[in-house]
Amino acid sequence: MAEGENPYERFKYQELVLRDELAIDRTVLANERTFLSYLRTSLSFAVVGGTILKFSDSPDLRVVGVIFLFLAGGSLGFGIWRSLTMRRRIRGCRQLVDEEAKQQKIS
User: Has residue 43 been placed in a domain?
Assistant: yes
User: Has residue 15 been placed in a domain?
Assistant: no
- Higher model confidence: residue 99 or residue 32? 32
User: pLDDT tens-digit profile of 32-82?
Assistant: 999 999 999 999 999 999 999 999 999 999 999 999 999 999 999 999 999
Q: Which domain holds residue 63?
A: 21-106
- Higher model confidence: residue 88 or residue 103? 88
User: Has residue 13 been placed in a domain?
Assistant: no
User: Has residue 48 been placed in a domain?
Assistant: yes
The domain tally of the chain equals 1
User: Has residue 90 been placed in a domain?
Assistant: yes
User: Has residue 16 been placed in a domain?
Assistant: no
- How much is the pLDDT for 21? 76
User: Has residue 11 been placed in a domain?
Assistant: no
Tell me the DSSP string of 1-61.
Answer: --TT--TTTTS-GGG--HHHHHHHHHHHHHHHHHHHHHHHHHHHHHHHHHHHHHH---HHH
- How much is the pLDDT for 11? 60
